[in-house]
A and B are shown apart, each in its own frame.
Chain A
Amino acid sequence: MSAVSLGYYPGCSGLGTSLEYDASTRAVCRALGITLQDIPDWTCCGSTPAHTVDHVLSSALAARNFAQAETAGIDDVITPCPSCLKNLRNALEHMEDDLFRARVDALTERPLTRPHTVKSVLQVLVEDIGLDAIKEKVTRPLTGMKVVPYYGCLMTRPASTMRFDSPEYPMSMDNLLAALGAEVLPFPLKVECCGASFGIPKKEAVTRLSGKLLDLAAGLGAHAVVVACPLCQMNLDLRQEQINAANNTHHALPVPYFTQLVGYALGVPEKELGFDKLIMPLAPAFTAMQEACAKATAVAEKKPAAGKTEATAGGAA
């Protein structure tokens, strides 16, 4: 793996509700030899509030960030947030139409001069760095930790825009977590809706939909629900108490970002990974992991003896 240098777009949540996603992304990239160069003076990606009102405005907001990237000589950008990613990609796609592009340029007054690409952090880790390279660098494997990966609705969809993994049953995060040594449980609701921003106008939608996700994850025996989207994380983690209250459940499932677990496995100090920012503490997941590990070791220690008996029995027969 050679040194990689990429533009970095943290997105608004990276400075607020998902500080730990931003911090762990930076830490993981450092550990993997990826140099991140922040887009100077980046602004809103043009997501929901803008694109529900005006597509040109939304794309102009995104285009401004690419224009800013150009001032720093950046062509290829990565972002941890799937919503930012969708919007930045949408803008690039829409601007392939000359008429649309002209309307965007009229707003920004800063036409883009070079082609740009934008990818998710997940896609870069899985496709560009590669699972084998990551596996090689694992110093603290997650052996024994049972996890369910939850991609959310946007990470692979719409398929024609994201062009990454399967829109209905993605496996990239499953495979990444497995490479870290975790026991990845098949999670059939991995791309289901968490309720998204309905938490504000209609909380019932979130408690019902996210509740379903937590019920299934707990039912499968997961130690943690691993996410890749700041909004999903907020619904499942910050609102977990509300969900419990609404549904009369008692979940206490930690909801870490995948980057936090990658960072841990790569040996990044916990301080840099923002574990303390999680509402549902991650510690029980590690405890469960260690217990499972200890159990496995105990069984393994017994096993050779058992194996020997079998072999002898076989030989005798």
Chain B
Amino acid sequence: MRIGVFICHCGSNIGGTVDCKSVAEESYAFPDVVFSTDTMYACSEPGQQGIIDAIKEHNLSGVVVASCTPRMHEPTFRRAVERAGLNRYMFEMANIREHVSWIGKNKDANTNKAAELVRMAVSKLRLNRDLHSKSFPVTKRVLVIGGGVAGIQAALDCADAGLDVVLVEREPSIGGKMSKLDKTFPTVDCSSCILGPRMVDVAQHPNITLYAAAEVESVSGYVGNFEVTVRKKATYVDWDKCTGCGLCTEKCPSKKSFDRFNEGVGPTTAIIIPFPQAIPKKASITRDACRQFTKGKCGVCAKICPTGAINYEQQDELVSMKVGGIVAATGYDLMDWTVYEEYGAGRYPDVITSLQYERLLSASGPTGGHVKRPSDGKEPKNVVFIQCVGSRDVSIGRPYCSGFCCMYTAKQAILTKDHIPDSQSFVFYMDIRSPGKGYDEFTRRVQEEYGAQYIRGRVSLIYPKGDKLIVRGVDTLMGGQQVDVEADLVVLAVGGEATQGSPQLAEKLRISYDSYGFFMEGHPKLKPVETNTAGVFLAGSCQGLKDIPSSVAQGSAAAAKAIGLLSKDMLASDPQIAQVDMKRCVGCGKCIQVCPFKAIKEVDVRGQIKAEVIETVCQGCGLCNATCPQGAVQLSHFTDNQILAEVEALCRF
């Protein structure tokens, strides 16, 4: 074998703490290496051309590039060696940037370690074989999980591009958090007026199938051909018959049910249509609140329904489908702010969340848009807003900024003045974070034109005194002076967290999530809507909290990725998969048990049970390889011999 080695300086990224030239010289001593050089940027156009020229000039049969992580540029270099006529798998990469130059300052030690990593790569490359992909057809259908504004955007863009779309929403209506908002910043235009038409588009689009009150039960398969099962939860109303007339919601005698859509501001009935613009506009029964279920008799809705749609016997239903790509757009929830004992931990009715305040402001909310405080229904005059409740607080394990609270608090202070002209708003803040088009101007307007008093400081205590709430904070711009504000209503700008069930869904989708439950993008800068699982994309706050414009942009971006993927008729499979040596296999089935992708099946070979890998399903994780007691399963490109050759290269002393 004739191996060429290229040591990349990556400018000063590697060259600063690794003597690349001497690594290149040392590499000449490694077995089968016939050419070695250092290069300023191996990934650049001239860098790649240098590799191609060397392959031709020195008749190389394999190439090692020592540079950055393979996550970054392995595909780049594989294409380069392919252009020079080699098989793309006759290439190995040694990571001397993330694993060497960025983590150590001792140049001698770094240079030594870099050379050892190159030696490992050379040892492995000597055992590499040509590998070839197979191609398989794709299913031109996209699953969008979550019908908030991000999911709606992704679904509409995919559908407009001609793809079939299945949109799955957990709640009985799509719309997400945006549908609960009264107005949006910084334009102060009506949220449901701009979202409503898009929701109707979803309902009417011939390419979109909508499953509301449904959740993803299981996902199997692989990019281009996922098998998805959706659980349609029992709503006890036959939605094919329901016309959304709302008679049942008027007559329902159980009127004390928790109103999820209105964030518990005021009660609702046991059978509900969540809000006037709901899509689908269908009724559903909250089982725990319904007298038919809790007391065994009532049946008022069944009697009143003109179409006979009520069905107390309805069961959950499972629907299976095949999709080529998946967009996760599951959004966020407000964190449980009652951990804050100093804010009353929920003991005081007039301390409410920002989302509850949106429902109080909204004309379609339970108070008809009149701001009435929960305790006694009085109109508040002094309204105190507290920012960063559950954001940027290490003490409760939430160090991140939720990103949108500064802006919506400014908006709510403006709306407060609009609704109650003789009111005064006070905003306790840490910093005003308002990067975005027209955002900073907006936060100035609320102070300069609407007279909201912004106080830079935290609140240490809220306590009731008579029918007022005393909000005690500090004004850090007034030399740390203590400030007591007598408030009629306190609105907490509660930060967001990954929506309930995010980790569980991530595991179904086999994508990564961070310690807060937010889904991990493929690369924080260059792959913002991809995941590390091929064919699964992200949109909106499930990836990290963001406001409406950013969520919509990500929805479109994820759609573009899905459309791009499914624009092909055939996809190439990855040949780095498991292979069973039939002669060694004893048919014990251990590999079948450990395979997380159900990619191994039993086959009968002349009366003997053997394992067989389903090539398009295998993801090349190597669990079967490590489990097989016979060493019969080998992972192509990562065989036992290749790994051992690397170990041997490292342990040669």
Contact = CB atoms under 8 A, between A and B. Distances in A.
B406 to A, nearest CB: 25
Contacts of B345: 169
Contact of B347 (A186, A189, A192): A186
B341 A192 contact: no
Nearest to A188: B463
Interface string B432-473: 000000000000000000000000000001011110000000
B201 interface: no
B341 A166 contact: yes
Contacts of A186: 347
B466 A168 contact: no
A2 to B, nearest CB: 35
Contacts of A167: 341
Contacts, number: 20
B464 A188 contact: yes
A216 interface: yes
A314 interface: no
A216 B341 contact: no
Nearest to A170: B341
Contacts of B466: 219
B465 A168 contact: no
Contacts of A216: 463, 465
B465 A169 contact: no
Interface string B317-348: 00000000000000000000000111011010
A167 B460 CA distance: 13
Nearest to A167: B341
B482 to A, nearest CB: 11
Nearest to A216: B465
Nearest to B484: A212
B463 A169 contact: no
Contacts of A169: 341-342, 345
Contacts of B463: 188-189, 216
Interface string A168-204: 1100000000000000001011001000000000000
B540 to A, nearest CB: 34
B481 to A, nearest CB: 14
A256 to B, nearest CB: 23
Contacts of A189: 461, 463
The secondary structure that dominates the B interface is: mixed
Nearest to B464: A188
A216 B472 CA distance: 15
Contacts of B342: 168-169
Contacts of A192: 461
A63 to B, nearest CB: 31
Given A188-B463, A189-B463, A192-B461, A168 B347 contact: no
A54 B347 CA distance: 42
A219 B341 contact: no
B341 A168 contact: yes
Nearest to B466: A219
B484 to A, nearest CB: 10
Contacts of A166: 341
A129 B209 CA distance: 63
A271 to B, nearest CB: 38
A189 B461 CA distance: 9
Contact of A219 (B344, B347, B461, B465): B465
A169 B461 CA distance: 11
Nearest to B462: A188
Contacts of A219: 465-466
B472 to A, nearest CB: 9
Contacts of B465: 216, 219
Contacts of B461: 188-189, 192
Nearest to B348: A188
B486 to A, nearest CB: 14
A192 B460 CA distance: 10
A188 B342 CA distance: 9
Interface string A142-174: 000000000000000000000000111100000
A205 to B, nearest CB: 12
A280 B485 CA distance: 32
Contacts of B340: 168
B389 to A, nearest CB: 14
Contacts of A188: 344, 461, 463-464
A192 B341 CA distance: 13
A286 B499 CA distance: 53
A297 to B, nearest CB: 31
A133 B285 CA distance: 47
Nearest to B395: A159
Contacts of B341: 166-169
A216 B470 CA distance: 12
B492 to A, nearest CB: 15
A167 to B, nearest CB: 7
A216 B341 CA distance: 19
Nearest to B343: A168
A53 B572 CA distance: 73
A218 to B, nearest CB: 12
Nearest to B340: A168
A189 B466 CA distance: 14
A168 B342 CA distance: 6
Nearest to B470: A188
A207 to B, nearest CB: 16
A144 B615 CA distance: 79
A189 B340 CA distance: 15
A192 B347 CA distance: 18
A188 B345 CA distance: 11
A34 to B, nearest CB: 31
B620 to A, nearest CB: 47
A149 to B, nearest CB: 15
Nearest to B342: A168
B386 to A, nearest CB: 15
A158 to B, nearest CB: 12
A168 B339 CA distance: 10
Nearest to B339: A168
A166 B347 CA distance: 15
A166 B461 CA distance: 14
Contacts of B347: 186
A216 B464 CA distance: 9
A167 B347 CA distance: 16
The residue among A167, A216, A219 with the most chain B CB atoms within 10 A of its own CB is A216
- Which 6 A/B pairs are nearest by Cβ-Cβ distance? A168-B341, A188-B463, A169-B341, A168-B342, A166-B341, A189-B463
Given A167-B341, A169-B342, A169-B345, 7 more contacts: A168-B342, A188-B464, A189-B461, A189-B463, A216-B465, A219-B465, A219-B466
Interface of B: 340-342, 344-345, 347, 461, 463-466
17 contacts: A166-B341, A168-B341, A168-B342, A169-B341, A169-B342, A169-B345, A186-B347, A188-B344, A188-B461, A188-B463, A188-B464, A189-B461, A189-B463, A192-B461, A216-B465, A219-B465, A219-B466
